């Protein structure tokens, strides 16, 4: 292995050196891809012993760990930055000031990909919609690659020489370094405050998300959210989705005289909502988004509707866990921002409201600078008990109290999920609680107490199982 000191005299700007910043899964995929392309590659990471270091290809002969190496970045012809590394990191910011290109793995993918791309972003539901569109394509007989922010690095999809369509979930972190994505169809599903600690404000977050529309050949727009509408040419093909009856050729919902809800395209009723395994109004919007994206990608409608009737959703996304002592438990641990939690409260709350039922909501973790008072109208309407856990629990309670929370909503500081379950058993004994469902939708990151949202959701499900068994 060659160290930087031994190569300083050999390297100079313009030498073609590609520097990968951050050695997570995406960074590893970049290193593998670039070395196979014949580039000289260096890798630098803040961790002194990155977990994936021993998986780097042998051709990566410059490895600077323990800090992001500013000198190394200054000698790069191009920097490929991992999504978890901020552009404001001192070493990266200095390289940008020196006009060294900084891109993401998604930019490399776009430059190499020769098949149409379905590009999906949004504050919430992007994993669900990405998975659903991918399944629709596969069920229609299309050789499809699904990746990006969903856990499969986009560059690994290029290993499939028979791929006919790429479906990418893209985060704001990935998009902020992408130019001219050129997707066959692109969408921002929804917009709510998230990652403001990284982007600074909603304008910065909005600008990052909307880079997905650069070079797009068609777009899908959420009529319920003006922030999803792109500034693109009026003649660009587009479809819209929404919760009301749609205009001709667009997607929406139609309610018949018996109050049965249907997915609709124009005036045509496509599918009764009760035939969808995924529940809640937010999932009706997700289903529409998938249909619209699939249509613009050339997928047949009948096949897509068949897929919808088989799709049961993703783990940790408003996932039904079990019923214990007459109360339904839902795991929405993937709800890591207030927009996602709003959707979960409204989507499930509307199911129980006709039966005079209320939700018990578990909130908390790392708040990421969000304003939790925005949840108050949804809590006032659908929730009777709020249990707080995690690092920012007290701050979240303060935000809710300052935002005209109803006196009928009881608040409990629990600190941990174990304590929350003890409280659940106490408060649900009383019929006055009206609780018919418990919803874990924390609106926060999980890293204060867990390794990630999946671990938090699994722990919740284990506690529900113990409750079922009377342990």
Residue where a domain stops, chosen among 75, 103, 131: 103
**Co-location of 32 and 132 in the same domain:** no
Q: What is the CATH number of the domain that holds 189?
A: 3.40.1190.10
Q: Is residue 444 a contact partner of residue 367, using CB atoms and an 8 Å limit? A: yes
Distance, CA of 283 to CA of 263 (rounded, Å): 11
- Within this chain, do residues 51 and 181 fall inside the same structural domain, yes or no? no
- Residue 314 within any structural domain of the chain: no
Q: Which two tokens stand for residue 273?
A: 């909502």
Angle at 224 between CA 336 and CA 298, to 5 degrees: 90
Overall number of domains in the chain: 3
Q: Which of 32, 126, 334, 368 is catalytic?
A: 126
The pLDDT assigned to 84 comes to 83
Where among 52, 82, 103 does a domain terminate?
A: 103
Same domain, 239 and 303: yes
Give the closest residue to 339 by CA, choosing from 147, 206, 153, 148. Answer: 206
58 lies in some domain: yes
**Residue 132 and residue 303: Cα distance in Å, rounded?**
12
Determine the average pLDDT of the residues in 254-278: 91
State the catalytic residue, choosing from 124, 190, 195, 250: 195
Indicate if 325 and 262 belong to the same structural domain. Answer: no
Q: What is the CATH number of the domain that holds 408?
A: 3.90.190.20
Look at residue 22 in the predicted model and tell me its pLDDT. Answer: 94
Say if residue 5's pLDDT is above 50. no
Residue 431 predicted with pLDDT over 80? no
Which of 86, 103, 120 terminates a domain? The answer is: 103
Contact 60, 42 (CB under 8 A): yes
Tell whether 42 is covered by a domain: yes
CB 362 within 8 A of CB 291: no
Q: Which of 32, 124, 149, 337 is catalytic?
A: 149
User: What's the token pair of residue 65?
Assistant: 């760990």
The model's confidence at residue 454, banded by pLDDT at 50, 70 and 90, is very high
More confident residue, 416 or 346: 416
pLDDT at 334 over 70: yes
**Which tens digit of pLDDT belongs to each residue from 351-405?**
788 778 899 999 999 999 999 999 999 999 999 999 999 999 999 999 999 999 9
Q: Is residue 313 part of a domain?
A: no
71-102 pLDDT, tens digit per residue, is 999 999 999 999 889 888 999 999 999 999 99
Active site residue 195: yes
188-197, 311-320, 441-450: least confidently modelled range: 188-197
Q: The domain spanning residue 44 has which CATH number?
A: 3.40.50.720
**Pair (213, 73) in one structural domain:** no
Task: Quick: pLDDT tens for 270-297.
Answer: 999 889 988 777 889 999 999 999 999 9
140 and 250 co-located in one domain: yes
With respect to residue 330, please indicate whether it lies within any of the assigned structural domains. Answer: yes
- Whether 77 is in a domain gets the answer yes
In 32-164, which ranges are E strands? 41-45, 62-65, 78-81, 102-103, 117-121, 144-148
323 and 448 housed in the same domain = yes
Domain assignment present for 300: yes
Other CB atoms closer than 10 Å to residue 368's CB: what's the count?
18
What average pLDDT does range 406-432 have in this prediction? Answer: 92
Pairing of strands 327-331, 319-324: antiparallel
Q: Which range of residues forms the domain containing residue 115? A: 107-308
- 151 close to 134: Cβ distance less than 8 angstroms: no
| Separation between Cα atoms, residue 249 and residue 266, nearest integer Å | 5
**pLDDT computed for residue 315 by the predictor:** 83
In a domain, 268, yes or no: yes
| Rounded Cα distance, 79 and 18, in Å | 6
Contact 14, 76 (CB under 8 A): no
Does the structure show a pLDDT above 50 at 1? Answer: no
Q: Which residues pair with 254 in a beta bridge?
A: 262
In this prediction, residue 254 carries a pLDDT of: 94
Between CA 420 and CA 155 the distance in angstroms is 42
* pLDDT value of position 398: 97
Verify that 355 and 236 share a domain, yes or no: no
Q: How many residues does the chain have?
A: 471
Of residues 191 and 372, more confidently modeled: 372
pLDDT level of residue 201 (50, 70, 90 thresholds): low
Residues paired with 265 in a beta bridge: 251, 268
| Conformation bin of residue 279: beta by default, left when phi > 0, alpha when psi is -120 to 50 | beta
pLDDT given at position 13: 35
Verify that 273 and 323 share a domain, yes or no.
no
Give the pLDDT confidence score for residue 194 in this predicted structure: 53
Phi and psi at 54, nearest 5°, equal: -75, -5
Which pLDDT band holds residue 193 (cuts at 50, 70, 90)? low
Domain match, 360 and 302 both: no
Give the integer Cα–Cα distance in Å for 439 and 331. 6
**244 and 351 belong to one structural domain:** no
Does 60 share its domain with 174? no
Q: Is the pLDDT of residue 8 over 70?
A: no
């Amino acid at each position: 292995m060659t160290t930087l000191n031994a190569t300083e005299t050999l390297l100079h700007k313009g030498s073609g050196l590609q520097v990968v910043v951050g050695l997570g899964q995406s960074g590893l995929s970049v290193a593998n891809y670039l070395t196979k392309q014949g580039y000289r590659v260096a890798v630098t990471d803040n961790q002194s012993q990155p977990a994936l270091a021993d998986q780097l290809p042998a051709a990566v002969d410059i490895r600077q760990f323990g800090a992001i190496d500013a000198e190394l970045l200054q000698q790069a012809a191009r920097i490929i930055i991992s999504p978890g590394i901020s552009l404001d990191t001192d070493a990266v910011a200095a390289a940008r000031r020196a006009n060294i290109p900084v891109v993401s793995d998604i930019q490399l993918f776009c430059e190499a990909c020769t098949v149409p791309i379905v590009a999906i972003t949004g504050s919430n539901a992007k994993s669900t919609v990405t998975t659903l569109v991918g399944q629709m394509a596969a069920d229609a007989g299309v050789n499809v690659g699904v990746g990006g922010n969903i856990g499969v690095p986009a560059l690994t999809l290029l290993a499939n020489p028979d791929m006919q369509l790429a479906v990418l979930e893209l985060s704001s972190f990935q998009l902020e370094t992408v130019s001219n994505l050129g997707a066959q169809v692109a969408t921002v599903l929804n917009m709510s405050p998230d990652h403001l600690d990284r982007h600074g404000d909603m304008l910065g977050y909005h600008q990052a998300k909307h880079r997905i529309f650069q070079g797009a050949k068609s777009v899908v727009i959420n009529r319920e959210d003006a922030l999803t509408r792109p500034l693109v040419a009026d003649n660009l093909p587009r479809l819209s989705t929404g919760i009301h009856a749609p205009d001709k050729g667009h997607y929406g919902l139609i309610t018949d005289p018996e109050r049965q809800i249907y997915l609709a395209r124009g005036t045509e009723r496509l599918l009764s909502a009760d035939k969808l395994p995924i529940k809640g109004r937010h999932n009706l919007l997700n289903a529409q988004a998938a249909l619209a994206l699939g249509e613009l990608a050339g997928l047949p409608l009948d096949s897509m509707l068949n897929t919808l009737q088989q799709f049961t959703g993703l783990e940790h996304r408003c996932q039904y866990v079990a019923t214990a002592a007459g109360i339904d438990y839902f795991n929405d641990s993937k709800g890591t921002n207030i927009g996602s939690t709003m959707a979960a409260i409204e989507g499930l709350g509307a199911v129980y409201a006709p039966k005079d039922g209320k939700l018990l909501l578990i909130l908390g973790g790392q708040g990421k600078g969000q304003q939790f008072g925005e949840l108050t109208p949804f809590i006032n309407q659908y929730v009777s008990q709020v249990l707080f856990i995690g690092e920012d629990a007290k701050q979240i309670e303060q935000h809710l109290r300052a935002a005209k929370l109803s006196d009928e909503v009881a608040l409990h500081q629990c600190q941990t999920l174990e304590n929350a379950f003890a409280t659940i058993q106490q408060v649900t004994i009383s019929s006055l609680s009206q609780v018919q469902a418990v919803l874990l939708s924390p609106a926060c990151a999980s890293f204060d107490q867990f390794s990630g949202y999946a671990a938090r959701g699994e722990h919740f499900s284990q506690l529900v199982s113990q409750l079922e068994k009377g342990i």
